[in-house]
Amino acid sequence: MRATLCLWSLPFLTTRAFHITSRLTGLLRHISYTAPLSSPRTSTMADVRYLGQSESAALDDELMGPCGFCLEQLMELAGLSVAQAVQDLSQQSSMQIVVLCGPGNNGGDGLVAARHLFHFGHDVTVVYPKVGKKEWYSSLVTQLKESNIPVEESLPSSLASADVIIDALFGFSFSGAVRPPYDAILGELRRIQTSSGQPKKPTIVAVDAPSGWDVEKGPQGNGDAVIPDVLVSLTAPKKCAEHFYGRHYLGGRFVPSSIQRKYRLELPAYPGASQCVELSTGKKGA
């Protein structure tokens, strides 16, 4: 469907063997994915800056400090952005969606996205092995359960037959090895991706940073990485997104102009009332 964009990556296939494999995997899965595009958010060229881990953390601190935002507010806006990006992937009125949520803020974004996707008319299941320590996470779970949205601790048997799997396990602050139970979850995602006996595979959507990736360097070939079909960056893309070659959305239509200037973000214009915008896969910012 977007093979032309993916072919931009071919001149760079002299890098490490793992990156060769991941790029070709992204290309093949991109070609095989045939869900129709919806019109409100089309591909947009933008020289957007890609932020490192420490810079991303500093930006968040400023949003929740001098800029007057609270964590719950940012999480709600981020989750809505993710939900709108997923909605943009297909014109299906109802999709089977499984949202995999980790214990931190990235998982909170996934919980919010799940609620919005349910209200958009989709069949949503949430996998949330460990509830985050902050009271807000319990409130998000309560909101889901009050709408009869299933919240499970383990993977459903129907995972491989889902239309969309949202990876909201780990965000830009994650580092180190992936530990149980999340290592088994990522292992199952890799198994689904590489299974040859499954004609239609779920579209995997990563939130802000694909789980198992180094936030600065991208996939490292250590067996933990999942190569998503779609990435939804939040506020600004992280440096790991420079190694991603699928469909790339940016969400977070709330960044004050003072922050945009300070961090030289060069954010693209959001069309209409959209909370996300699709970025093309060509030019990248410094």
Residue 284 lies in a domain: no
**Residues forming the annotated binding site for K(+)?**
106, 167, 211
Which residues are annotated as part of the binding site for (6S)-NADPHX?
Answer: 105-109, 171-177, 182, 208
Which residues make beta-bridge pairs with 165? 98, 204
Residue 173's pLDDT band, with cuts at 50, 70 and 90, is: confident
More confident residue, 62 or 22: 62
Q: How confident is the model at residue 72 (pLDDT cuts 50, 70, 90)?
A: very high
Label residue 252 by pLDDT band (50, 70, 90). confident
Q: Are strands 123-127 and 151-152 parallel, antiparallel or unpaired?
A: parallel
In a domain, 286, yes or no: no
Question: DSSP 3-state assignment of 100?
Answer: strand
Q: Where residue 284 falls among pLDDT bands split at 50, 70, 90?
A: very low
CATH number at residue 74: 3.40.50.10260
User: Is residue 264, in this structure, part of any structural domain at all?
Assistant: yes
Structural domain contains residue 138: yes
Question: What is the three-state SS of 5-46?
Answer: HHHHHHHHCCCCHHHHHHHHHHHHHHHHCCCCCCCCCCEECC
For residue 285, is it within any domain?
no
Q: Tell me, what DSSP letter sits at residue 269?
A: P
Which tokens in the block code for residue 161? 């037959």
**Per-residue H/E/C for 184-210:** HHHHHHHHHHHCCCCCCCCEEEEECCC
User: Is pLDDT above 80 for 156?
Assistant: yes
**In the structure, how many helices (H) and strands (E) does the chain have?**
8, 9
Mean pLDDT, residues 140-160 taken together: 96
Of 39, 20, 14, the closest CA to residue 245 belongs to 20
**C-alpha–C-alpha distance, residues 227 and 210, integer Å:** 7
Q: How many domains does the chain have?
A: 1
Task: Indicate whether this model's pTM tops 0.85.
Answer: no
Could you tell me which residues are annotated as the binding site? 105-109, 167, 171-177, 182, 208, 211
pLDDT 10s digits, 211-234 = 989 999 998 876 668 899 999 999
Residue 97 has pLDDT above 90, yes or no: yes
From the list 212, 202, 219, the residue with the least C-alpha distance to 166 is: 202
Average pLDDT over residues 244-253: 94
In a domain, 246, yes or no: yes
pLDDT exceeds 80 at position 81: yes
The domain of 228 spans 3-279
Calpha distance 226→204 (Å, rounded): 9
- Given a cut of 70, whether residue 22 has pLDDT beyond it is no
Q: Which of 35-49, 60-74, 208-222 has the highest mean pLDDT?
A: 60-74
pLDDT at 199: 72
